Amino acid sequence: MFKKSYEITKLSPNDAKYNTFTKLLGNRDYPLSNVGQIADSMVTLGNFLHCIPIIVSEDGRIVDGQTRMAAATSCIPQQDIFYVTIPNKDVAKIAIALNTNKRNWNLGNFANYWSEQQDDMKASENYKRYMSYYNNNKVTHGVLIAICNKETSRMFSLKNGGNKTFKEGDLYFSKDIINHVEDVLSKFRKLANASLYIPIRPATLKKQQFQEAMLMALAVPCFDFDKFVKNLCRSRHQFNEFAHKPTMYNEIIRIHNKKVRK
């Protein structure tokens, strides 16, 4: 249906048309955090909008790229905009097609990308190690990244840029970090067969709430993992019934402190 090749037009900040594009009615609002992240990337890497031009209708409505547009205009100095113009009659069809089929990379996609890079062998080596840990353990990407950074929660990534660093290929393994990761993951694996009366279900073992609760416990200096496992063997736990990290953590501590009959 769409056989026409559309020409990419460059628009400079001093052009009279620069600030005239409008929002497509009904389009979702964009997070300001995304605007800032794209703007930071444009300042660091240079203007890359010619690679992913904005799509606008003949009457100036932004069909795709309103976040990139906002980022370009918020930079200091403002950046050039690259766009293609489509007929008004095609706006709805293209907008729906783009937002139905477009899917951003998840953390696993970024890890696979960096593990296969041949022009950055150090990054490839680090991400191959990471993927080996992921594929051989029941652990989520968010929690595994936290473990690699010696954190107790995937939420550190949202506050301190851990996921951003991970996505940009800057995952790093020192001998100390390797020892930490392998120690934590070995403890996670031991839990699969640690309970005599009520096995911890595989789905429970992989829950980020359970994993983060265990990381919290492991970070407490007086927590004895071997004692916890010994007590768990003879306890009737409730991990399979819980869904939240605080209750998971309380159950871990309850079992850890429990006096089990010999």
CATH number at residue 14: 3.90.1530
Please say if the pLDDT value at position 30 is more than 80: no
In a domain, 3, yes or no: no
Residue 2 maps to a domain: no
* 159, pLDDT greater than 70: no
* Residue corresponding to tokens 């996921």: 163
**CA separation, residue 52 to residues 47, 73, 81, 134, 226 (Å):** 10, 16, 10, 32, 54
Residue finishing a domain among 61, 76, 101: 101
Q: What is the domain extent for residue 135? A: 104-182
More confident residue, 102 or 1: 102
57 touches 85 (CB < 8 A): yes
Q: Is the pLDDT of residue 74 over 80?
A: yes
User: Angle at CA 36, nearest 5°, toward 130 and 78?
Assistant: 130
Query: How far is Cα 197 from Cα 205, in angstroms, rounded to an integer?
Result: 16
92/16 same-domain check: yes
pLDDT of residue 163: 76
Q: What is the mean pLDDT of residues 177-185?
A: 97
- The verdict on 18 and 42 lying in the same domain is yes
Residue 43 confidence (pLDDT) = 78
Q: How far apart are CA 259 and CA 262, in angstroms?
A: 9
Higher-pLDDT residue of 154, 84: 84
Q: What angle do CA 141, 147, 150 make, to 5 degrees?
A: 145
φ, ψ for residue 91, nearest 5 deg: -60, -55
- Using the predicted structure, report yes or no on whether residue 54 has a pLDDT greater than 60: yes
Instruction: Say if CB 203 and CB 237 are below 8 A apart.
Output: no
| HSE value, Cβ hemisphere, 13 Å, CA-based, for 225 | 17
130-156 average pLDDT score: 90
Judge if 21 and 94 occupy the same domain: yes
Longest dimension (CA), the chain: 83
CB-side exposure of 257: number of CA atoms within 13 Å?
8
Residue 4 falls inside a structural domain: no
What pLDDT is stored for residue 128 in this prediction? 95
Output the pLDDT for position 197: 86
Least confident of 27-31, 63-67, 142-146: 27-31
187-244 per-position pLDDT tens digit: 999 999 998 888 999 999 999 999 999 999 999 999 999 999 999 998 889 999 999 9
Give the pLDDT score at 262. Answer: 55
The number of distinct structural domains making up the chain is 3
In this structure, which amino acid lies at residue 166?
A: F
Tokens at 212, concatenated: 């983060």
User: What token pair was written down for 162?
Assistant: 């851990």
